[in-house]
């Protein structure tokens, strides 16, 4: 599987988890949110791996956001996830990693 295919697979899974979380009743809300969060970071890890394999690698987040694959992803993301995606994209460009305590709750 190529890194592009992995990104798209993880995107599909994350969007599926987002929809499940959005539809969850109060009893299942916490579990659905945890599952979504895990899928979001698995997706971002795939984006990081894909980005790190680019030659040349984007030097700025704006450059990354203009790439066709990333444009396609952004078009599919629910509006509430755009800021989180852009924040993670900045970390990817800066070659920084979020520690578990800093992940979104």
HSE (CB half, 13 Å, CA atoms) of 55? 1
Residue 15: the pLDDT is: 98
Contacts of 13 (CB under 8 A, 6+ apart): 39, 42, 43
Residue 64: the pLDDT is: 97
Q: What is the DSSP string of 70-105?
A: HHHHHHHS-HHHHHHHHHHHHHHHTT----GGGS--
Residue 48: the pLDDT is: 97
- CA–CA distance, 4 with 21 (Å, rounded to integer): 25
Instruction: Compute the Cα dihedral for 38, 11, 13, 80 and give only its sign.
Output: positive
Residue 101: the pLDDT is: 54
Mean pLDDT calculated for residue range 77-91: 96
- CA–CA distance, 34 with 28 (Å, rounded to integer): 10
- CA–CA distance, 80 with 67 (Å, rounded to integer): 21
């Amino acid at each position: 599987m190529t890194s592009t295919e992995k990104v798209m697979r993880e995107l599909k899974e994350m969007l599926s988890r987002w929809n499940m979380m959005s539809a969850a009743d109060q009893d299942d809300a916490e579990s659905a949110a945890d599952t979504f969060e895990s899928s979001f970071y698995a997706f971002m890890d795939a984006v990081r791996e894909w980005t790190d394999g680019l030659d040349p690698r984007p030097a700025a987040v704006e450059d990354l956001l203009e790439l066709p694959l990333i444009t396609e992803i952004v078009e599919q993301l629910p509006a509430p996830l755009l800021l989180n995606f852009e924040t993670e994209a900045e970390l990817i460009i800066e070659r920084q990693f979020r520690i578990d305590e800093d992940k979104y709750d």
